[in-house]
Amino acid sequence: MLDIKKIRADFPILNRKVNGHSLIYFDNAATSQKPQQVIDKIVEYYTLYNANIHRGVHALSQEATDLFEESREKVRAFFNIAHTKQVIFTSGNTHSINAVANGAHAFVKKGDEVILSAVEHHSNIVPWQMLCERVGATIKIIPVLDNGELDMATYHQLLNAKTAFVVVNHISNALGVTNPVKEIIDAAHQHGAMTLIDGAQSCGHMKIDVQALNADFYTMAGHKMCGPTGIGILYGKEDALNALPPYQGGGEMIDQVSFEKTTYAGLPHKFEAGTPNIAGGIALGAAIDYLNEIGMDDIAAYENELLIYGTEQIKTIPGAKIYGDVTDKAAVISFNVASLHPYDIGTIVDKLGVAVRTGHHCAQPVMERYQVPGTIRASFAFYNTKEEIDVMVQALQRAVNMLS
Ligand code: C6P
């Protein structure tokens, strides 16, 4: 059982008013809010030990380096990663995917096939299109069924000797549906293919054990798990990371540089060219401490309660249609009401203090699949309440009445 009142007191932004109403923040799939503990950590870094890391012998640099590396260890433990050298700090989930796709010519050759799902975010489509164009490979798509689940029968038929990489998200940001990633990974491996799982929507909402999942690469976004923006994680199996060439060159990713030849540093530094987001990395450690203190199992159970309640309540609105109305999903509800435009509804509920996302959610192929211009998306986090859902539903009903 979560002490929601106590948890909400940690998030200063939840006290603010928007358009004269108490803020109801239901855009957690876009970015989570930050507890005071994370905000304080950023201020502490710049106030007390701002220095570049891995470079200086002076005290500040060593303090900052120690804290940054402590965060790497926290990430390792949080996702049950075997070794800290498999934790690559990036600028975000998009960067993590691009870091793999840009070097994936090591795994994908001319004539090969890369399988993506129909519910991918643009950041897990475009880098693979660029790769396939570069090497002369072809993209194949796992279709999505009417209920938002992937068409697994077709997936198994798509796999063949030419399949070099399989790339899917753990949870769809546009529908909230949890994909059967373990089955997808195991089947890909049986065909000798590499796998990347986009964990942007799963990190911070469920316990993730990368070793149990057995994906070759897994990507996460710090800002979706109560950490700051500008920091992400790329996990990889050690062999996979060793085989992947770095796509950014620069300081700190090298072993020796001469004009004749450069050799690269070992993991994780090979993929961390330049000065990283030091404050972001350290604050992500504080976010992980915070989530651990509450407990990921309790967070997942409570968010599922919000999902069930929110789904029931949204269905009371005449004409409401939910996309991805299945049980195995995150607390993300994507819906429309009759033929009303999602943007119009989103604008009106914003005037009533309710923040939802409207539009294609950077997943245009999903919208095309369901033949809609976009959806309204309400996405909950563990600091939200059923009372807030009630207020949202009243606001939605008001918007529908005004527009009908
Ligand atoms: N989805 C959303 O509102 P970045 O922007 O790099 O942190 O993450 C990109 C990304 C990749 N994959 C999935 C499944 C995602 O949901 C996102 C980000 C946000 O749905 C912002 S577009």
Are 227 and 314 contained in the same domain? Answer: no
Place of tokens 């504080």: 286
Same domain, 14 and 161: no
- Predicted model pTM: 0.98
As to burial, measured by CB atoms within 10 angstroms (0-12 exposed, 13-18 middle, 19+ buried), residue 115 is buried
Q: Which of 163, 236, 225 is nearest to 197 (CA)?
A: 236
Q: What is the CATH number of the domain that holds 155?
A: 3.40.640.10
Asked if residue 68 is part of any domain, the answer here is yes
- 277 and 165, same domain (yes or no): yes
How far apart, in whole angstroms, are the C-alpha atoms of residue 394 and residue 194? Answer: 47
213 and 151 inside one domain? yes
Tens-binned pLDDT, residue by residue, of the chain (404 aa): 899 999 999 999 999 999 999 999 999 999 999 999 999 999 999 999 999 999 889 999 999 999 999 999 999 999 999 999 999 999 999 999 999 999 999 999 999 999 999 999 999 999 999 999 999 999 999 999 999 999 999 999 999 999 999 999 999 999 999 999 999 999 999 999 999 999 999 999 999 999 999 999 999 999 999 999 999 999 999 999 999 999 999 999 999 999 999 999 999 999 999 999 999 999 999 999 999 999 999 999 999 999 999 999 999 999 999 999 999 999 999 999 999 999 999 999 999 999 999 999 999 999 999 999 999 999 999 999 999 999 999 999 999 999 99
- 381 alpha carbon – ligand 1 mean position (Å): 16
- Which of the listed residues 245, 268, 292 is the one where a domain comes to its end? 292
With the most atoms of ligand 1 within 8 angstroms of its CB, the residue from 362, 366, 376 to mutate is 362
Residue 309 and residue 227 in one domain? no
Question: How far apart (Å, rounded) are the C-alpha atoms in residues 338 and 390?
Answer: 20
Q: For the chain, how long is the longest CA-to-CA vector?
A: 71
Count of CA atoms in the C-beta half-sphere (13 A) of 345: 29
- The verdict on 138 and 172 lying in the same domain is yes
Residue 33 lies in a domain: no
State in Å: Cα 14 to ligand 1 middle: 22
Residues in the chain: 404
- Residue 53 CB contacts under 8 Å (≥ 6 apart), including other chains: 61, 64, 65, 68, 275, 276, 278
Choose one of 292, 327, 355: the last residue of a domain.
292
Residue 252, CA atoms < 13 Å, CB-side half-sphere: 14
Q: How many angstroms is it from 200 CA to the middle of ligand 1?
A: 6
* AA letter at 254: I
Rounded to 10 degrees, the C-alpha dihedral 247/51/293/208 comes to: 10
Give the residue among 175, 67, 76 at the shortest CA–CA distance from 121. 175
Same domain, 277 and 338: no
Q: Are residues 317 and 281 in the same domain?
A: no
CATH label of the domain that carries residue 381: 3.90.1150.10
Same domain, 334 and 235: no
Q: Are residues 104 and 210 in the same domain?
A: yes
Q: DSSP letters of 318-373?
A: TTEEEES--SSB-SEEEEEETT--HHHHHHHHHHTTEE-EEE-TT-HHHHHHTT-S
Of the residues 271, 292, 313, the one at which a domain ends: 292
**Which among 384, 325, 282 is positioned nearest to 45, based on CA atoms?**
282
Q: Give the residues surrounding ligand 1 with Cβ less than 6 Å away.
A: 29-30, 92-94, 121, 123-124, 169, 173, 198, 200-201, 221, 357, 361-362
**Domains in the chain: how many in total?**
2
**DSSP secondary structure letter of residue 177:** B
- State which residues form the domain around 44: 39-292
Cis bond before residue 35 (omega within 30° of 0)? no
Residue 34, in any domain of the structure: no
- Do both 174 and 304 map to the same domain? no
Q: Which residues are catalytic?
A: 362
Residue 374 is assigned to a structural domain of this protein? yes
For residues 287 and 302, state if they share a domain: no
